[in-house]
Amino acid sequence: MCGIVGFVADTPNAEEVLGNMMDAIAHRGPDDARKYMSGNAALGFRRLAIIDLEHGVQPMCNETGDVVVTFNGEIYNHLEVRKELIDKGHKFATNSDTECLVHAYEEYGYDMLDHLRGMFAFVIWDDKKKRLFGARDFFGIKPFYYARVKGGFIYASEIKAILEHPLYHKEFNPEALDQYMSFQYSVLPETMFKGIYRLLPGHYLVYENDQLKIQRYFNPLPQPENTKTFEEQVADIKETMHESVQAHMIADVEVGSLLSSGIDSSYIAALYPGNKTYTVGFETADNKYNEIDYAVDTANILGKENTHRIISPTDYWQSIPLVMYYMDEPLADPSAVALFFLDKMVAEDVKVVLSGEGADEFFGGYNIYHEPYSLEGYQKIPKPLRKAAGGVAKSLPGHFKGKNFLIRGSKDLSERFIGNANMFSMEERKRILKHVSTDKTPQDLTAPHYAQVEGLDPVAQMQYIDDNFWLPGDILLKADKMSMAHSLESRVPFLDKKVFDLSRRLPVEHRLNGFTTKYALRTAAHEVLPEKVTSKKKLGFPVPMRVWLKEDKYYEIVKERFESEAAKQFFNTDELVKLLDDHKNDVVDNSRKIWTIYVFLIWYDVFFNDGLKKEDIPVPLTLAEKMAQKKSA
């Protein structure tokens, strides 16, 4: 796991600029920092040493020095790829997975991506052809950002590195804010920074002769089928998950495993051959937001250690500016901050950790996936009548039982489901935002994806939307950024090509069975986990935000931000305060909407008003420094 930066551009003081870009993401790789420069091309690399600690340095070249790679991630089948390439006559100088990318490019060109299994964002510079080839992995586990500038191209693992290049001029992108208000994360290809784009999952790019070409090479389309019995599919899940976890253990350093009270991380922890698990929680009167006891109990059953800690409200709220700095873009998922503390604790002990992201999207785990069946009877009523009933329910003041059912039931699936989060409607956006930058709706963004899965069952359609929006935009973004903030490599065994190929074929009744989500996966996990874990209802990563926002202390903190000059620049602040007051007075739970706006304002302050002091950003420690610190403790 590492960080990559670079550019192909006529840049004054190019080596110094490259160094500044590398320094901006030192947390992604504190163990080593190296450069490659040739003409206008500059490639920089920050290394977090995981495989072949002594020899796996980057940038890495082929034998003749004219094909150069910088790579962030892990190639889990690199030994197989290496054998294929050696059989074809290629010579290897190291045992690292990085070197297989160089020779795979020489052998297969862009088709090399079909041979890889892993998580990655990499760039290959072909010095003979003066061509830059970059790619992002199948599901978007690793980030990749880029910007076109006058006569050139800049790229990096994190946006903050691109901001260091003098040819890029920082500017806020208001259209991204419009869509963020609905999705709770930055969803457009163009980020919150005008002119800086994300390379989408399953895509590669080629920059040559000042021309940029982008191509999709992988599309996670569901293909439900009934060619196997339920028992056969469960057996396949057991075998494939066991093999995937073993593949994700490849490392020359110690590996740990995250553990919550849910089935996803518990299943990974059960299959994980190591001994160390990690958990965090929050202390409240009803203990509703604390999974530590569940996790400790599960760890004891599995015969593993569990390290845990309570996150205090003070620590949580004080860390938000730093979390937004590491995120690069605002993310209104309260669990991101909790994950920041969890990963910090893990990084004090190990360098690599397994995590359970992806199980819900692949195997049908979200409770909202039940909705098409809950609404099935009601949607047999003619749509004009449902629309009328929904309109009446929407116009009535207050919140009453059945109101949301009537409103959502009045809409088709593609109208109501844009992914696992849907914060502000278009009407609310127009009322709250001072300036609306676009008439484009969230449905305009999801429509092309719905078109690709037309005719499939509604759950498969919802999963495909989540695979393309929620998974890379929220789940994987926070997993990468929060772990790398602490120089920790997070690996996700569910998000594996072989696991996906199996899960995409599950018929709907094996994903959802009655009120049971992830039915086939839960059945498979029951072999190694007790019933109370495999049958436990999904909680997500519970954070007591709705409780805190009713307390005077945090109400005042948010209100001050909602009435700030920055807030007045973007929002009708009276509407913001009304959201806050209605929540505090128990009129309606507005906690997620309040949080969406609050973290945006914190993020804007950090990146556009110098709201975070340089001394507040921790200096990353090398592996040797961590070991010395641990030994002295």
Are residues 11 and 154 in contact, defined by beta-carbon separation less than 8 angstroms? no
Which two three-digit tokens encode residue 138?
A: 């199948």
Burial readout 198-207 (b: 16 or more C-beta within 10 A, e: otherwise): bbebbbbbbb
Rounded distance between C-alpha atoms, residue 531 and residue 218, angstroms: 37
Which residue type, as a one-letter code, is found at position 426? M
> Which helix or strand (DSSP H or E) is residue 608 part of?
helix 591-608
- Supply 175's token pair: 């259209």
Question: Which residue in the block uniquely carries the two structure tokens 């049971």?
Answer: 516
Cis previous bond, 59, omega within 30: yes
Q: Which residue, 210, 168, 126, is CA-closest to 20? A: 168
CA gap 277, 129 in Å, rounded: 48
Pairing of strands 352-354, 489-491: parallel
Whole-angstrom distance, CA of residue 296 vs CA of residue 291: 9
Residue 100 annotated as catalytic: no
As given in the structure block, the two tokens for residue 206 are 């080629």
Task: Quote the distance between the C-alpha of residue 350 and its chain's center.
Answer: 21
User: How far apart are alpha carbons 356 and 428 in whole angstroms?
Assistant: 34
Interhelix angle 591-608/174-183, rounded to 10 degrees, is: 150
Ordered alpha helix ranges (H), 378-487: 383-395, 403-409, 413-416, 426-432, 442-452, 458-468, 470, 476-484
In the block, residue with structure tokens 């057996």: 235
Q: What are φ and ψ of residue 514, in 5° steps?
A: 60, -125
Q: What is d(CA 100, CA 85) in angstroms, rounded to the nearest whole number?
A: 8
Return the closest-CA partner of residue 117 out of 144, 145, 157, 82.
82
Give 123's strand partners: 70, 134
Question: What residues form DSSP beta bridges with 516?
Answer: 513
Total Cβ atoms within 10 A of residue 627: 11
Residue 542's alpha-carbon distances to 155, 280, 339, 457, 538, in angstroms, are 35, 10, 11, 30, 10
Block residue for tokens 């018929």: 507
Relative to beta strand 489-491, strand 276-281 is unpaired
3-state DSSP helix/strand/coil percent for the chain, to nearest 5? 45, 15, 40
- Residue 438: CB atoms within 10 A of its CB come to 14
Order of strands, edge to edge, in the sheet holding 118-126?
A: 60-61, 67-75, 118-126, 131-136, 203-208, 211-216
* Three-class secondary structure of residue 296 per DSSP: helix
How far, in whole angstroms, is CA 77 from its chain's centroid?
23
Q: Which residues are catalytic?
A: 2
